[in-house]
Amino acid sequence: MNTLISANEEQLADKLEYFMQNLLKKFELSKHVHQFYTFSFKPDPPEAYTNIRLYLQLALIFDLYYSKYQIIQYLNGLIKCMDTLCSQYQRFSDEKDIKQFSFLISSEINYILTLSKKLGINFETQ
């Protein structure tokens, strides 16, 4: 039974990794987040990418994935997503979205500080 569970968990982990890599790749290439994608990861519909909440959710996913696995590409995706969110901050109307955005800013700063220390890069913050 444990072998079956382990095999299922491994398959699930492989599928998650495949999904995350494709999601990251699509976002890095287009800088857009869509609500729906086909099985071949084409946006459906391709012109629907203006929902700011989708960018917030994607940033939270990248944050979670980077915090768990420390894969630098997901930090890069988070930073790019945050760039979009910062430019659209005035569109946040929900208090929950604002709190999540604040959390993500704090998280991003902590990741950068931690990474810079790890790399031996020192800079002063005010």
Q: What is the pLDDT of residue 70?
A: 95
Domain regions of the chain by residue span: 2-118
| Helix ranges (DSSP H) in the chain | 2-30, 52-69, 72-87, 95-118
Let me know the angle formed at the C-alpha of 112 by 107 and 116, rounded to the nearest 5 degrees: 150
Per-residue pLDDT of the chain (126 residues; tens, 9 = 90+): 445 456 688 888 888 899 999 999 999 999 999 988 888 888 888 888 899 999 999 999 999 999 999 999 999 999 999 999 999 999 988 999 999 999 999 999 999 999 999 999 986 655
Residue 1: what pLDDT?
42
Largest CA distance in the chain: 56
